[in-house]
Structure formats: C-alpha cells, structure tokens
Structure 1
Amino acid sequence: MVSLPSRRKMKYTLEAYGFLAPALVILITFIIYPVLNLFYISFFDWRGLGAKEFVFLDNYKMILQREEFRQVLKNTIIYILGVVPTTMVLSLIAAVLLNTKIRLKSFYRTSIFSPTAISFVATGIIWVWMFNSDYGLVNRVLEALGFSPLDWLKSTSYAMLAVIIATVWARVGYFMVIYLAGLQTIPEEYYEAAEVDGATSFRKFLHITLPLLKPTHVLVLVMLTIFSFRDFDQIYTMTGGGPLMSTTTLAYYIYVLSFERFRFSEGATVAVILLFFVIAVQYLQRKVFGDEAIY
C-alpha cells in the first residue's frame, strides 16, 4: 500500500511533468529531433527525393577535402573575427558613455538601441542602399573626404567588410544594454575611493570597470560567437554569398547546398560540422573562462 507522503510526492511529480510537457514537446519537436535527423541524413546520399543510399562517412570526407569548403570556413573565421571584437568594443564604449551624466541620454540610448528592433532582412536592404556604388551614402561620404568610391557589394575585397559593418551596426545596441546592466552592478564606492586616491577617469575604467565587467564580457563573447556562427539573413539579402562565394559562411553554405544545389545530405553534413565547431568553441571558452562562462 502506497503511503500518504509517497502519494503526495507522486502527485507533485506528475504535476511538474504536466507543466514541463509543453516546453518538452517544443524542445523535442523543433530542436532534438531535427538535430538527430541531421546526423541521420549526413550518413546518406540523398537529394530530397527518392531513395537514400547509405554512404556512412563519405559525405564528411568529400566535404572536408573540398577546396570550396575551406574557402567557406576561412570566410566564417574572418566574419566572426570581424563581428565579435568590434561589436564588443563599440557596445562597451557606448555603454560607458551612456552610463555617465550627459544631456539627452535617453535620446542617444534609444538611437543606438533602435537598430535591434529592425529585422536582419530589413537591415540588409538598408545597407544595400547605403553601399550602392552609384547613389549610396557611404560612397558619397568617401567622395566628400577625397577618396574614390568603391563597388562594395560586387568586390571580393570589400563585400565581407560591408556585411561585417552592417552586422555590427545592428548588434551594438543590443549588447550595449547588456553592458549597461553590468555597469549598474558595480558599486559606486569603488569609484569614489579611486577618486580620493587621485585616479583619472581612464585609470578607473582600466582598473575598476574592465575587471568587474568580466562576467559580462564572457556573456557577450559567448552570445556574439553563437550568433555569428548562425548569421544568415544579412548575407542572403546583401550579397547572396557572393561575389565568387567571398561572403559565403558555413550557415549560408548549408542553404546553398540544400536549396540551390538540392544536395540535402551534403547540407546536413555541413550543418553537423557547424554544430561541432560551435560546441568546440564553447568548450574552449569554458576552459579559458571557467565558471564565468556558464550562463
């Protein structure tokens, strides 16, 4: 016979699983099952229709040996190295400046944050106009400064830079808010004690603000890295991966293989490789930063 405490515990357990059930259904349906299905498809030769031919690891060998894949991997690394540190630095600078007593603080804060309310598709379209070689604002500014106009989005040398600029512009406001939240947690007493000791504003920033923002730095770094690995929209709208695949990253390469070339098994293989890259980078960040990398 089941005791009363055991019945109560069973009741609470069933209630807990009842509350968790909707989230678990969504998690299994839209995350766990698609990931497992990616692994499954990557072991076959499949074009989306017809029978699947089991090839085991042949897709991985073929993708890793392909020169095109190495170019895409290089593009991804350049993109991440361009977006992540630039966004972190600009977000931190904006947060520090807006955390001081300045006029029109709310206006500046809203102006910097507002791009985050725009979808990346709309952001991409805006920057396509901005970088237009004939009437774009960027080239007009360059001409006013005495430089020659550039064909930004059709140049293999400048297209990636244009995409990085657009992405940074769209993300600075979001991470500025995170840095502002981190700045609010630093006790004002530290700054007051430093002023008594005669510390300048730069020294207070260097020896108080930066060290005490370390958990925030780690959070921003982890989030930006994950976001940058999966970025697709702005590349699709601005360059379509071109010219000559110079802006094709791993995330966009999955789309090219799956929905332009209809090589779904190869697209799944690249998706699995991308997943392992993300896991490896997060593991490395965990090792470097320790418990502060856990969020």
Structure 2
Amino acid sequence: MSKKKRSRIGSKLGEAITGWFFISPMLIGFSLFMFGPLVYAFFMSLNEWPLLGDATFIGLDNYQSLANDDTFSKSLINTFIFSAGLVPLNIILAMFLASLLRENFKGIGFFRTAIFVPVVTSLIVWAIVWKYLFASELGFINQFLDLFGIEGPAWLLNVKTAMPAVIFVSVLKNVGLNMILFLTAMQQVPEELYEASELDGASTFRKFRSVTLPLITPTIFLTMIITTIGAMKVFGQIYVMTRGGPVDSTKVLVYYIWETAFRLYEMGYASAIAFVLFFILLIFTILSWVVRKRWVFYEE
C-alpha cells in the first residue's frame, strides 16, 4: 500500500472518529433516556409485573389478553374518535385564522398573540379553567345560555357532550401553533403568483385553492402528522376534566395506560397497551411518509 493511499485512509478514519465524537453526546443521551427505557418497557410487557411484587415471565399473554379486554377496545375507539374530531377542526381553523392574519393591518400583532397564548399556557391550568367554564350550574357557558332561556346540559357529565367538549378545549389549546406554521408557509408564497391570478380574474377562493393550497401542502402534511400523533397521546385534558368518564366515554388509551399502571398496579399489562399505541403511531407515520408524494404537490 502506497504512502499516499495510507494517508488518505488515515484522513477518512480521522474524519469518521471526529464525526462520531461530535454526535456521541446525542447517542449516549438517546441510549440512556430513550432506547434503553423502550427496550426495558418491552421486556416489562412480557411479564406479569405488579408494581410492588416480583415479575413473572408470561410471554405474549398480555398482548393476547388485550383481544378480550372490552375497556381496551373502548379506549382505542375513543382515541380514534378524539383524533378524528380534533385533527380536521384544528387544521381547518388554523388555516382559516392564518388566512385572515396573513395581511398586515392595525392590531394584527395583538390578534396573533391572543391566538398563540393558549399554546404557551400550562395544559393543566387551561383544562382546569375550562372545567369550571363547563360546570353544570355555576359555569359561565351555562349561565350565558340561560340569558337566552336555554338550559345548558351537564357538559362533562353527559355521555353525548363530554367528548365534544374535550375536543373543543383541545382544539383551542393548540390551534395557535398550527396557525403560526400555516402563516409562515403562506408568507413564503411568491406575490407574483397572486398578481398573475388576479389578472386572470381569479376570485379570493380560487386563488387560495389554486395557488396557496398547492404551495403549502408540505406544511399541511407536517401539521397533520404532528397533530394526529399529539391527539393519539392525549392525557392531560382527560385527566383533569373527565377522568375518563362518564361511563368511560372519554377514556382514551394513554389514560387507560396510566390507570392500569398506577391505579391497578399492573405494570406489565400497562406496558403492553403502551406498545400497542406505539405500533399504531409507527404504522401511521410510515404510511403517511409513503403516501406523501400523492398529495404533496410542492416540495423545496
């Protein structure tokens, strides 16, 4: 081997070692706080593991038990219902607000800030405030309806209204974040395209459908994935506002995981439920990535 070739190999090896050195803090942190606990949690799911007792290896029995668990099935359905209600409302409302606040006008900073404030507000505080607003007799919402002679329901104690109420609160909590993402994307659309469409006599709606919408589809795709994953992992609002009730009508998977682990002390079974949720989110993310080319019309 020539001296020049040895020098080239040594240089590449040095670059590789330097690269691994720079990313080693991230790799160590990921292994200690993400990958390691993930593997250990999967091991727990293969055991009958009471919180204060000894673990007993049972293989896939926990996963088989899920097939006959009516509460698990109900929680899974509730999770999909919550996601199906929250994601479209959040995306549509965020896009509508971004369209309104795209132009500069007096007081626009105030309106943008007011819509974004719930995003940085503590989730627990937000949920507690809305729990009292939805209170049956002394809640502001029912008192306001009473001014018009309308008797408001017990929003959080009624099977028909509890889930819509939680969805409504969740939409208002996070719509500001998606609004900012859409607003940023819309501001990147070249003004020349709007001017050309105006010369062609396009209406406001036609400009949005034919110019704005195709050019912000990468952002729409991103926000849909983020919002859906967040909806599938909802817990705080449920815990504060309904505790999964009434009659399990708002009990979602993450709440059921918490209840199984820290109320029933079945850590192994709770880990199995958690991994089912993990695989659902993994499959959703993979499918979304595969089909993105079908409807993402523009990517930089």
By how many angstroms is 1:152 displaced? 1.1
> Aligned to 1:127, which of 112, 127, 130?
130
Aligned equivalent of 1:40, options 28, 43, 58: 43
In structure 2, stretches of 5+ residues that fail to align are: none
Alpha-carbon distance between aligned partners in 1 of 2:16 and 2:160, rounded to the nearest angstrom: 59
Aligned mate of 1:117, from 116, 120, 133 = 120
Count of aligned residue pairs for this structure pair: 294
Structure 1 residue 64: Cα displacement: 2.0
| Residue equivalent to 1:183 | 186
SS at match of 1:163: helix
Partner of 2:209: 206
Q: Give the CA deviation at 1:209.
A: 1.3
The 1-side partners of 2:190 and 2:197 are apart by 12
Identity of aligned residues (%): 34
Aligned amino acid, residue 119 of structure 1: S
Deviations 1:155-205 (A, max 9, x none): 222111111111101101011000011101211111101111111111111
The residue identity in structure 2 corresponding to 1:36 is V
Task: Name the CA shift for 1:50/1:226 in 2 (closer, same or farther; >3 Å).
Answer: same
1:50-129 correspondence runs (5 A): 50-129=53-132
Describe the superposition over 1:5-25 as per-residue Cα deviations: whole angstroms up to 9, x where unpaired: 433333332222222122112
Question: 1:141: Cα distance to partner?
Answer: 2.8
Matched, 1:288 2:291: yes
Q: 2:164 aligns to what?
A: 161
Give the C-alpha shift of residue 99 in structure 1: 0.3
**Residue 33 of structure 1 aligns to a residue in which SS?**
helix
Query: Aligned match of 1:244 in 231, 243, 247?
Result: 247
Q: Cα distance, 1:130 vs. partner? A: 1.3
Query: Quick one: distance in 1 between partners of 2:192 and 2:147?
Result: 47
- Determine helix, strand or coil for the equivalent of 2:67: helix
**Does 71-80 or 150-159 show the bigger shift?**
150-159
Please give the alpha-carbon distance, in whole angstroms, between the structure 1 residues aligned to 2:52 and 2:14.
Answer: 48
In the alignment, the residues of structure 2 paired with residue 178 and residue 247 of structure 1 have an alpha-carbon distance, to the nearest angstrom, of 29
Q: TM-score, normalised by structure 2?
A: 0.92
Task: Tell me which stretches of 4 or more aligned residues in structure 1 moved more than 6 Å.
Answer: none
TM-score scaled by length of structure 1: 0.94
String of CA shifts for 1:206-247, please: whole Å, max 9, x gaps: 211122221111011000011111121111111122222211
Q: 10, 16, 19: which is aligned to 1:16?
A: 19
Aligned to 1:227, the other structure's residue is in SS state helix
Query: Pairwise CA RMSD of aligned residues?
Result: 1.9
Contact 2:48 2:58 in 1 (8 A): yes
Contact 2:80/2:232, CA 8 A, preserved across alignment: no
Unpaired runs of 5+ in structure 1?
none
Deviation at residue 286 of structure 1 after TM alignment: 2.2
User: Partners of 1:280 and 1:47 in 2: how far apart?
Assistant: 30
Hey, what's the Cα distance between the residues in 2 that align with 1:97 and 1:180?
9
Q: 220, 223, 228: which one pairs with 1:225?
A: 228
2:271 equivalent to 1:259? no
Aligned partner of 1:192 in structure 2 is: 195
Q: CA deviation at 1:108?
A: 0.5
